[in-house]
Chain A
Amino acid sequence: MSTLRQLVSGIDIQLKQLPASSDIPLNQLYLWGAFFVNKYIYLKGGVVSTGEYLYILPDVAVATTLLANEAVNLVAGRKYSILPRTILDFPEDRGIEYITWYNDLDPDHPFYAQFTRTTPVMARRLYYSLYETPSAENPYFYRHGKYIGYLGIDDVIVAHVEMGLKCPFDPFSGDYSIDDDISILDEFADEIQRSMLEMGRFELMMPSDRTVDAAQTTTAQIPTTKLTSVNQSPTPQPE
């Protein structure tokens, strides 16, 4: 969800805080809120099987590149889609819950096929086994960046696929707005509030540490005499 621009502008605001005018803009709080909401969505989604953050996109376009394009990381002749939304980056690309396509080109033999997740390196061994070789009925997908590459559907016409994606909460550019119910796990509400308050406290603390006002120029007195107890009369030192 976040962009480099959002991250950097947030830090920029923080670095410009001065004690006399300390004020954290509301927009900055919204950004922090979205960060922490997504943090807990990620934590929860990693351990709980929930459809709360699942988006089903029934018509994601499939394209084919005619020429290899190194700039966008595409292989010539290979079918691919562009991820239509930002997804939660769970291990094993589990942010992509599923990808399917429905083949009705042959009315006598229509079928649904679900793409199995692989990677370009793991895909090599698929071709060693008769049972695992990619085919139209046993297709595979792999993710590279914002692209989804497909194996097994090279020789059939596939215009669209259906995707189920687990997406982060994005009140800035997605379907959400800041007034929507974010269904954020009430069990994490206190964590989110505390995280934001700690962030704010840290931000307001930081400028005083940075201040160089030259007020404190004296150095601490270094004892030059032997330290003695107050109950003991000082013994004159021989000159």
Chain B
Amino acid sequence: MNFSTDRLITPNEILADVVEESQDYSFREHTKGWYVSQMQQCLSELSFDTFLLKLWDDFVFPAGTLALAMPANSFNIRRIYIYDGLLGSPSTQKRVRWKRNYATRGAGMDFTADNKAGTEDDPFMVPISQSTQDDIYFAEMQNGVITFSSNCASFGFVRLYFNGSLAPIGETPFVPELFRQAVKEWVMLQVYRIRRNKNPRVHRTTYMDAYNEFHRRFDGTWAIAKLRAKRIDQQMADDVKEYLSKMNIDNAGA
């Protein structure tokens, strides 16, 4: 995601606005930690909705179990590579493909999968050949664990690309300036919601107004935040357009 870390908004700056709006100067209505927790939850939801934070990291290949726990703060694996060389310095690499319902209990154990060599008697699925199966490096992700095929164990390291949350639970939620208004209004919406729960007759209309402003379909605060998260990779978008418009002229030998 493209934003400068020099333009991150601190929780206190958000608080300065939120407390002014809620008039909760002495934190009697909610504690300061509660407000900060709402900011964290807002950034998490935004991350889940837009996959805006892309991360990668290196790991030693789990040769014994063939199973690697997904990194902390990850929620969506985007790419898996295995490589040789040094940790963080790949010399040779292979891309690991996804295989449906692949499961194994570890090195030296066989596996089950929807498509497996040696199941030619299946009346509905023509299985992969043994040689192709041996040549492909594959894995399956389930319940926070990535399970690799046994041939992956010939490589020493794994590099994962994944999505993460902007603010993991417990860490200080620094807010990209792009989402400042969204986070502020999210927190206020939670304040109004609790007020409405305590006294619906007095606070219901305030909550409904805030809800509508925040969740309006196309130009609500949340919709705009999601739109921003999706459109700010401008170079990527421009380059993809350029690649596609080139139509492989060079490769065609024209």
Contact A131 B37 (CB under 8 A): yes
Contact A126 B26 (CB under 8 A): no
Question: In the complex, which residues of chain B have a beta carbon less than 8 angstroms from the beta carbon of A129?
Answer: 33-34, 37
B165 within 8 A of A: no
A78 within 8 A of B: no
A178 within 8 A of B: no
Contact A116 B27 (CB under 8 A): yes
Question: In the complex, which residues of chain A have a beta carbon less than 8 angstroms from the beta carbon of B31?
Answer: 116, 118, 126, 132, 140
A39 within 8 A of B: no
- Which residues of B (193-208) have their CB < 8 Å from a CB of A? none
Q: What interface size band does chain B fall in? A: 10 to 19
Q: How far in angstroms is the closest Cβ of chain B from A99?
A: 10
- Which residues of B (32-50) have their CB < 8 Å from a CB of A? 32-34, 36-37, 40
Contact B26 A132 (CB under 8 A): no
Contact A117 B36 (CB under 8 A): no
A154 within 8 A of B: no
B128 within 8 A of A: no
Report B13-35 CB contacts with A as 1/0, cut-off 8 Å.
00000000000001110011110
User: Counting chain B CB atoms within 10 Å of each CB, which of A92, A98, A116 scores highest?
Assistant: A116
CA–CA, A233 and B31, complex, Å = 88
Question: In the complex, which residues of chain A have a beta carbon less than 8 angstroms from the beta carbon of B170?
Answer: 130-131
Report B96-129 CB contacts with A as 1/0, cut-off 8 Å.
0000000000000000000000000000000000
Q: How far in angstroms is the closest Cβ of chain A from B72?
A: 14
CA–CA, A92 and B33, complex, Å = 18
Q: What interface size band does chain A fall in? A: 10 to 19
Contact A92:B28 (CB < 8 A) given known A130-B169, A130-B170, A131-B170: yes
Q: How far in angstroms is the closest Cβ of chain B from A134?
A: 9
Name the residue on B nearest A98 (C-beta). Answer: B26
- Which residues of A (102-136) have their CB < 8 Å from a CB of B? 116-118, 126, 129-133
Question: In the complex, which residues of chain A have a beta carbon less than 8 angstroms from the beta carbon of B27?
Answer: 116-117
Q: How far in angstroms is the closest Cβ of chain A from B190?
A: 13
Contact B28 A133 (CB under 8 A): no
User: Counting chain A CB atoms within 10 Å of each CB, which of B27, B33, B34 scores highest?
Assistant: B33
Q: Which of A117, A132, A138 contacts B28 (CB 8 A)?
A: A117
Question: In the complex, which residues of chain B have a beta carbon less than 8 angstroms from the beta carbon of A140?
Answer: 31
Question: In the complex, which residues of chain A have a beta carbon less than 8 angstroms from the beta carbon of B28?
Answer: 92, 94, 117
A162 within 8 A of B: no
A203 within 8 A of B: no
Contact B40 A131 (CB under 8 A): yes
Contact B34 A131 (CB under 8 A): yes
User: Counting chain B CB atoms within 10 Å of each CB, which of A97, A117, A129 scores highest?
Assistant: A129
Q: How far in angstroms is the closest Cβ of chain B from A121?
A: 15
Question: In the complex, which residues of chain B have a beta carbon less than 8 angstroms from the beta carbon of A118?
Answer: 31
Contact B26 A117 (CB under 8 A): yes
On A, residues with C-beta under 8 Å from B are 92, 94, 97-98, 116-118, 126, 129-133, 138, 140
| 6 smallest beta-carbon distances between A and B, as pairs | A132-B33, A131-B33, A130-B170, A131-B37, A131-B36, A92-B28
